[in-house]
Amino acid sequence: MAPESWRPPADAWSRRNFLRNGFGSVALLCTLASPGALRRKGEVTSAALRAQARSPFEPFQRDLPRIPELLPVSTSGGRDVYEIAIREGLADVLPGFETPIYGYEGVYPGPTIRARKGREIVVKQRNTLSFESNVHLHGGYVPASDDGHPMDVIPAGGSFDYHYPNDQDAATLWYHDHAHGRTSRTLYYGLVAMYVLEDELEEELGLPQGEYDVPIAIADHAFNKDGSFRYEENVDFGFRGDTILVNGAVSPRMAVQRRRYRLRFLNGSNARSYTLRLANGEPMTQIAGDGGLLERPVDRTSFQFHPAERIDLVLDFSKYGPGEQLVLHNTAGSGGTVAVMRFDVVGGGGREEFRVPRRLRRLEPLPPFNARRRWDLALGTSMWQINGKGFDPSRIDVRPRLGSTEEWTFVNHSQRVHPMHLHGFQFRVLERSGGPVELADRIGWKDTVGVQPDETVKVQAWFAPYAGKYVFHCHSLEHADKAMMLQMEVVE
């Protein structure tokens, strides 16, 4: 099916939504458009009604939603089986509205899967939507047949069992739709979820667990007056929303005890890059990146955070008193895209003995380069291209040898950021023309790297453990949809 024949859910659902919300929604619309209008007429005087008239886009009004975790339907035979329906749903994003979404199990963000190294899982994905979908486990080492290649789709009404071997170190991964040509819309409308892989090595470090280990998905959105997500295609910059959603709530607040927390951040935005920084300028401790634990923790005061990247932080709230508030800012934003979230320190936390260890893991030595490749990133005629080509599923663009490493150089000839992502494999960042490589990017594995305007970035990619056909592409979703993607076949 051609992407053009696909319609966003807001078109089909706005009428139904309007009827459901009835007059309540209309009244709230007035306050949204002009918060002062009712008061001028003398109809609203009490503090309670004034509070109601507060814009739902003001930050820190809602508690950070905890993303639900998915439980397996069976755990026998040495593997866990999960079932997910890819379906339409209604999300509680703005008070008084229901926002139509596509969601794994009909929720946004979708339910988190917690898997364990060495234990295979099967995720039975049932596509109840009226168009093709598929699922890519971003950052996962999975056989090509289970990778969610953009042409390898689940037809409308069909299903597919994805087998994930989980034979890699602990990491914060995520899963999302990857049917070619429409990911900018399907991810925007909600087909985004996290996948936490745990292992023994990490457990031995004693990092915060349970309720103190919190997945946090950030994405920018915009809204229509009926509370539905507004999407406007922009192939040049990629979509930019005017509102930051964190786990599906507008710049929320999170009550934290006086202790350490592990926060697993995902940039699930279509195309927005963030610069994360605490308003008080205090450093945050990064312990892991895309591919799991760093060799050692790195204290940083600010983070460049590109689409599809993950950053795992340990934040220590024990040095703050009850009642203190810490705001996490996006200093690259403006207006509604500056405030990301707020941490409200409450009592509790007890006497915590834990400290982040000085060494977290050993980095594997890599074989020397088997080949060097250069990838020129530029806008062609109405399409984004790599080495002058757009995605063509009938063409293999590069054939790395299984188990080898290659030096890949991304050369950005445009004025846009391109977060380049390899399916199925990871890399280390070696060099950037724009300045020194962040320490955290040198002492850990990554699967996505932001290439800045006019910048050249060199990485060392390791083509293991599976042979087969995968893709690599820009993770600015509008760029990927408009063909900024090539195909690689890893050969024995």
Q: Residue 426 in contact with residue 432, Cβ under 8 Å?
A: no
Q: Residue 220: in which H helix or E strand, if any?
A: strand 213-221
Nearest to 417 by CA among 211, 270, 208, 264: 270
**Count of all residues that appear for the chain in the document:** 492
Q: Which is nearer to Cu ion, 221 or 473 (CB)?
A: 473
Q: Which is nearer to Cu ion, 261 or 410 (CB)?
A: 410
Alpha helices in 264-383 (DSSP H): none
| ω into 109 cis (within 30 of 0) | yes
CA separation (Å) from 342 to 70, 324, 325, 385?
27, 10, 7, 39
Q: Which is nearer to Cu ion, 356 or 474 (CB)?
A: 474
Quote the least distance from Cβ 416 to Cu ion, whole Å. Answer: 6
Give the residues lining the site for Cu ion (CB under 5 A).
418, 474, 476, 479
Q: Which is nearer to Cu ion, 361 or 473 (CB)?
A: 473
Query: What SS3 class is residue 301?
Result: coil
Q: Which is nearer to Cu ion, 238 or 252 (CB)?
A: 238
Q: Which residues pair with 278 in a beta bridge?
A: 328
Quote the least distance from Cβ 459 to Cu ion, whole Å. Answer: 16
Quote the least distance from Cβ 417 to Cu ion, whole Å. Answer: 7
Nearest to 24 by CA among 100, 92, 93, 96: 96
CA distance 18 to 37: 22
Q: Please enumerate in sequence order all residues whose Cβ is within 8 A of that of 145, keeping only pairs 6 or more positions apart, or say none.
A: 152, 468
Query: Percent helix, strand and coil across the chain, each rounded to 5?
Result: 15, 40, 45
Q: Which is nearer to Cu ion, 31 or 476 (CB)?
A: 476
Q: Which is nearer to Cu ion, 10 or 474 (CB)?
A: 474
Nearest to 189 by CA among 103, 65, 259, 72: 103
DSSP designation for 77: T
Alpha carbon 382 to its chain centroid, in Å, reads: 27
Q: Which is nearer to Cu ion, 258 or 418 (CB)?
A: 418
Alpha carbon 360 to its chain centroid, in Å, reads: 24
Q: Which is nearer to Cu ion, 276 or 477 (CB)?
A: 477
Quote the least distance from Cβ 198 to Cu ion, whole Å. Answer: 32
Quote the least distance from Cβ 474 to Cu ion, whole Å. Answer: 3
Find the distance separating the first CA and the last CA of the chain, reported in whole Å.
34
